[in-house]
């Protein structure tokens, strides 16, 4: 049977053209090299070297076997290295999703730094608008979830990132722009512009309107933050966004923001499966997230 060790021996023999030098390279005896060579020649039923010459000369059949070794052995070495990295958690696939649809401004620098340190890890993204992202994490459809909901689910681990304030964003010409703070009643006759997720997952609904028993006049959805800002700026409605997002567009003069009541504050988390948190490439990503400062 042809084995990798035969090709490794023949590759060394082709370099050194000497049984004794090949034996030193392979850390074995010259007789062991001679025995492997006879096995290889028996497998192909043809002479692969001319033993009468010094140094040893390869026959035409030997040149064919050498080409085979030169093709196969590098592939074997690469596969071995890849498997070793996988076994030690240094390579794999990291699929991300985020319920915080405005997080990519601060997440992108982290991703760029991570790619430099873990070039063998394939990064992928889910949309984040799925109805049950925590279940996707449990079902191994994603590997890490950025979320404001640390649901007590067995098998999930949460890393606190930072707190933020959810603020009402509105046109500078909007009637509510003159208020110092917004009450739930103020939004009863307003159209709320929001991301396309369940209303219970919206901070403004879950932590501000629903406790007061108030619903907005209508809810309009868009997946893009830029489009949401455009709709608000053109007085098609109002929106609630994290303070760092609101501040970015306030600086441009497109919108203004006001606190919701005494302030609606939320905690952002990174959630992973318990059985994957010790993988080296996962620990590396969580370490970058753990060191992040609030945007």
- Tens-digit pLDDT profile for residues 143-187: 999 988 888 999 999 999 989 999 999 999 999 999 999 999 999
Would the pLDDT of 209 be above 90?
yes
Long-range contacts (CB closer than 8 Å, 24 or more residues apart) made by 100-106? 100/146, 100/147, 100/148, 100/242, 100/268, 101/128, 101/129, 101/195, 101/223, 101/225, 102/225, 102/241, 102/242, 102/244, 102/245, 103/146, 103/268, 105/244, 105/245, 105/248, 105/295, 106/244, 106/292, 106/295
Confidence band (pLDDT; 50, 70, 90) for 59?
Answer: very high
Would the pLDDT of 88 be above 60?
no
Q: Is 96 in a helix, a strand, or coil?
A: strand
Query: H or E element: which one contains 145?
Result: strand 144-147
Phi, psi dihedrals of residue 27, rounded to the nearest 5°: 60, 50
Would the pLDDT of 130 be above 90?
no
Would the pLDDT of 77 be above 70?
yes
Would the pLDDT of 129 be above 70?
no
- For range 25-47, the mean pLDDT: 90
Closest CA to 43 of 16, 68, 21: 68
Any idea what DSSP says for residue 292?
Answer: P
Confidence band (pLDDT; 50, 70, 90) for 52?
Answer: confident
Q: What is the pLDDT of residue 106?
A: 82
Q: Indicate yes or no: pTM above 0.95.
A: no
Would the pLDDT of 128 be above 80?
no
Q: What is the pLDDT of residue 91?
A: 56
Q: Is 181 in a helix, a strand, or coil?
A: coil
The answer for residues whose C-beta is within 8 angstroms of residue 254's C-beta and 6 or more apart is: 229, 233
Q: What is the pLDDT of residue 193?
A: 96
Mean pLDDT of the chain: 88
Phi-psi region of 17 (alpha: psi -120 to 50; beta: other; left: phi over 0): left
285 with 114: CB under 8 angstroms?
yes
Query: What is 258-272 written as a DSSP string?
Result: EEEEEEEEEEEEEEE
179 with 261: CB under 8 angstroms?
no
Would the pLDDT of 281 be above 70?
yes
Q: Is the bond into 55 cis (omega within 30 degrees of 0)? A: yes
Confidence band (pLDDT; 50, 70, 90) for 78?
Answer: confident
What the chain holds in terms of domains, given with CATH numbers, is 4-87 (1.10.10.10), 92-161+269-290 (3.40.190.10), 163-265 (3.40.190.10)
Phi, psi dihedrals of residue 96, rounded to the nearest 5°: -110, 150
Q: What is the pLDDT of residue 98?
A: 85
- For range 285-291, the mean pLDDT: 85
Identify the residue whose tokens are 């809810």.
219
Measured between alpha carbons, how far is 114 from 129 in angstroms, rounded to an integer?
A: 24
Q: Which two structure tokens, joined as six digits, stand for 84?
A: 């070793």
Q: What is the pLDDT of residue 83?
A: 62
Q: Which two structure tokens, joined as six digits, stand for 230?
A: 């455009």
Q: What is the pLDDT of residue 292?
A: 73
Q: Which two structure tokens, joined as six digits, stand for 283?
A: 């620990």
Q: Is 188 in a helix, a strand, or coil?
A: coil
Residues of the chain with pLDDT > 70: what percent?
A: 92
Q: What is the pLDDT of residue 84?
A: 61
Instruction: Specify burial of residue 9 (Cβ count, 10 A radius: 0-12, 13-18, 19+).
Output: buried
- For range 11-19, the mean pLDDT: 90
């Amino acid at each position: 049977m042809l084995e990798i060790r035969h090709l490794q021996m023949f590759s060394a023999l082709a370099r050194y053209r000497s049984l004794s030098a090949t034996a030193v390279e392979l850390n074995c005896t010259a007789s062991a090299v001679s025995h492997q060579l006879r096995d290889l020649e028996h497998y192909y039923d043809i002479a692969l070297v001319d033993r009468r010459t010094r140094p040893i000369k390869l026959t035409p059949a030997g040149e064919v076997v050498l080409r085979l070794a030169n093709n196969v052995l590098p592939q074997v070495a690469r596969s071995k290295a890849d498997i070793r990295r996988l076994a030690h958690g240094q390579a794999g696939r990291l699929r991300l999703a985020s319920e915080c649809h405005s997080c990519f401004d601060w997440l992108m620098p982290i991703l760029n730094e991570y790619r430099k340190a873990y070039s063998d890890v394939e990064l992928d993204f889910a949309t984040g608008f799925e109805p049950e992202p925590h279940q996707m994490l449990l079902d191994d459809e994603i590997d890490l979830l950025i979320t404001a909901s640390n649901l007590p689910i067995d098998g999930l681990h949460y890393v606190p990132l930072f707190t933020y304030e959810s603020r009402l964003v509105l046109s500078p010409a909007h009637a509510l722009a003159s208020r110092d703070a917004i009450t739930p009643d103020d939004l009863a006759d307003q159209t709320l512009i929001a991301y396309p997720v369940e209303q219970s997952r919206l901070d403004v609904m879950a932590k501000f309107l629903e406790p007061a028993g108030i619903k907005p006049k209508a809810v309009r959805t868009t997946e893009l933050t830029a489009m949401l800002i455009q709709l608000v700026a053109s007085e098609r409605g109002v929106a609630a966004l994290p303070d760092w997002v609101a501040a970015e567009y306030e600086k441009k003069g497109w919108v203004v923001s006001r606190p919701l009541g005494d302030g609606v504050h939320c905690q952002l988390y990174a959630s992973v499966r318990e059985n994957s948190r010790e993988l080296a490439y996962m620990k590396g990503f969580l370490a970058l997230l753990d060191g992040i400062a609030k945007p």
